Structure formats: C-alpha cells, structure tokens
Amino acid sequence: MTHIQLPISKSIANRLLILQALSGEPLLDVSDPSIPDDTRVMHNALQAIQNGAPEVNVENCGTAMRFLTAYCAQLEGQSVVINCSERMKKRPIGQLVNALIRCGADIWFENEVDFPPLRIHGKKLANPVLSQISGDPLIIPSADSSQYISAMILVGLNADTDQSSPYIHMTRAMCEAWKAGERHFEEKDWSSAAFWYEYVALHGGKLYLDGLTDSDLQGDCVIAKWFKRLGVETTIDAQGVTIEKKRRAMHLPYILSFANNPDLYPAVAITCKQLHVPLIARGTVSQRIKESDRLESVKTMQTQGDHRIAMSLLAADLPCDDVECVRKSYPGFYEQLCQLRG
C-alpha cells in the first residue's frame, strides 16, 4: 500500500501566523519544502510588515489578503499598502473593509472600489456601538467569504455572519486555545486529501495518508463521508487514514452543498463528471471568486492558474495546462502522483 505525505493545513497555519505576530512570538518556520506557497506568502508578508516595509505583495493568496487587511488596520501608526496579483484584484474585499471602517480603521482602495490593492493606516480599533443588546457582534450578512469574519476575530473584533462556516469555527477554536496557552496547531490537510479520494474513486486501489487525523478544526474532513457514496471507504487509525475503492459509485443524482466546504468542489465535481454521476451542487456562489471562477474552470477543464482545479485534473488523468500552480497549497502533489503512477 502506497503511503502519501500530505502538506500541513494552510488554513490552520495562516491563522497561527497571525496569532504569533499579534503576540510578538516567533513565526512558524517555513523552510521545509513541503510548506504550501500560500503559507510562505503570509509568513514573508508578516515578516516584512514587522520590519517596517511600506508595501507587501500577497500575490493570489486570499487568506493573506483578508487576514493582513485586519492585521494592518490595528497596527497603530504604521502605514502599509497591500498589493496583489491581477486575479486578486478581481476578488472583492469591500465587505471586510467596510466592517473594519465601522470599527475605526483607515483603509483606502488604491484602484477600484471594493477591490484590492489597499492602503491602510493602522489605528486602535474598537467594536462599534450597535443598536442591538450591548456585546452583540458586528454582523456581515451573507458574507462573500468566511475569511472576512475570521480576519476580524483574529484581531479581537466581535464579528459574525448569518451563515454557518467550519472555517469560522476553526478561527474561534484556535483563538480560544491560544488564550489557554496552546501553541501547537499543525495538522495535515484534509482539503488536500480530497484529491487522493478523487484518485482512488477514479482509478481504484488503496492509499495510506500518513499523519492525517480525524479533525475537530477542519470541516473538510467531511470528504470521507461524501466519497463513501462514490465507492471509497475510509479507515482512521492513530497514524493516519486508509482510503480504498470498495464498490462502484451510485449513479443516482448526488445533491451536495459546498457552502461550508468550498475547497472540496473541484475534486467532487470532476470525480462525478468522470464517473457519470449527476451532481446537483448547491452553495456554489463563492466558487466564482476563488483563484479562478471554479464553476467555469470545471466546465472548461482549464486551470486558470487555480491550484485546486489543477490537482483535480491531474488526479483524473486529464490534461492540465498549469502544473506549477499546485505549489500554492500542495508543493509535492505532482511528484507524488508521478511516483504513484510509476
């Protein structure tokens, strides 16, 4: 049985980096080549900001763009421009900016209103006086991204949305654990495991995902349940997770909501497409503002520079026009896939 080494969860790692920076603690070591590029981007930007850099570039890292917006907004007396890639300039951030301004932030849109890049002058922030009962959170209704809420929670602002999200649960849980003295949050990434579930569903066989554990923080562990319908069984032990193709996929229409697990959409959608399983995908609005328009990318089988689309195509043995972009979340994926294929 082939063993697969997954990367750490960049969602957890990037939250950890913000908590470390806010506490003045050393930042997570990112020298290991298996560290996702998005985590390196966050690390390097934080390091530059701590050294007084007037401008940082977060490339196409949505987590860094949103988390650093809130982080820089509360750096009293420090001014920073957060620049980014052309794709990121098309990914909205106005809801977060407006919420932070209500808390006292000074933030300007450098080009187009509601979109990066941003110019920020750090100030002391406070939760706004609300019309509801004192202590109620600032609500961002129908937030474009749960990362807006997480960004505010990380810097101590009382924010929420009318949508449930395992990523907001992750942020709250990490903040509470951090306050209680917990400093070790590194977990293997369930979002990356999705592409190995896809591979097994399409090609059969058995894989062992080293170090992957049943997670209280990562909502994307639901992938084990979702792929059971597609014929893949999951066994979890103390050292990792075994996934094995045990039966054929059920060819009835499969109705799933991706509202709380948007990163799982490409792997599930392409698996269903290849197995001729009708997928009725709900909660896909946010797919339009990811690294690509993922609804369009799945339809056309073009990556548009999107790491999750690329890994979904590669796992399905479909042509991929951009292998390098997988480094954003899973630097070793293509090499591991090539070794598995012999």
- Segments making up each domain of the chain, as ranges: 9-179, 190-341
> What pLDDT score was predicted for residue 337?
97
If you average pLDDT over each of 127-136, 139-148, 288-297, which comes out highest?
288-297
Does residue 223 or residue 136 have the better pLDDT?
A: 223
Average pLDDT over every residue of 16-20:
98
Q: What is the 8-class DSSP label of residue 8?
A: B
Q: In 3-state terms, what secondary structure has residue 81?
A: strand
Which is nearest to 166 in space by CA: 40, 94, 257, 41? Answer: 257
Q: Diameter of the chain by CA atoms?
A: 63
Helices (H), 51-188: 62-73, 94-102, 146-154, 166-179
**Is 80 exceeded by the pLDDT of residue 274?**
yes
The model's pTM is 0.94
Distance in angstroms (rounded) separating the CA atoms of residues 194 and 268: 8
Q: What digits encode the pLDDT tens for the residues 178-222?
A: 999 999 898 999 999 999 999 999 999 999 999 999 989 999 999
Does residue 137 or residue 178 have the better pLDDT?
A: 178
Q: What is the 8-class DSSP label of residue 263?
A: G
**Is 90 exceeded by the pLDDT of residue 300?**
yes
> Looking at domain 190-341, what is its CATH homologous superfamily?
Enolpyruvate transferase domain (3.65.10.10)
> What pLDDT score was predicted for residue 226?
98
Distance (Å) of CA 66 to CA 18, 92, 117, 255: 11, 10, 11, 31
Q: Which residues contact 266 (CB under 8 A, 6 or more apart)?
A: 294, 297, 298, 306, 308, 309, 311, 312
CATH topology of domain 9-179: UDP-n-acetylglucosamine1-carboxyvinyl-transferase; Chain (3.65.10)
Distance (Å) of CA 30 to CA 42, 43, 112, 138, 252: 10, 8, 33, 34, 44
Split at pLDDT 50, 70, 90, the class of 287 is: very high
> What pLDDT score was predicted for residue 163?
81
What letter represents residue 300's amino acid?
A: T
Question: Is residue 118 within 8 Å of 97, Cβ to Cβ?
Answer: yes
The two beta strands, 279-282 and 254-257, are parallel
> What pLDDT score was predicted for residue 268?
98
Domains 9-179 and 190-341 agree in fold = yes
Q: In 3-state terms, what secondary structure has residue 332?
A: coil
> What pLDDT score was predicted for residue 136?
74
Q: Which of 198-202, 230-234, 249-253 has the lowest mean pLDDT?
A: 249-253
Q: Which residues contact 176 (CB under 8 A, 6 or more apart)?
A: none
Q: In 3-state terms, what secondary structure has residue 327?
A: helix
Average pLDDT over every residue of 80-96:
96
> What pLDDT score was predicted for residue 135?
62
**Is 60 exceeded by the pLDDT of residue 11?**
yes
**Is 90 exceeded by the pLDDT of residue 164?**
no
Report helix angle 166-179 to 10-23, nearest 10.
40
Q: Which of 84-93, 128-137, 277-286 has the lowest mean pLDDT?
A: 128-137
Q: What is the mean pLDDT of the chain?
A: 95
Report helix angle 333-341 to 307-315, nearest 10.
0
> What pLDDT score was predicted for residue 162?
84
Question: Is residue 297 within 8 Å of 310, Cβ to Cβ?
Answer: no
> What pLDDT score was predicted for residue 134?
54
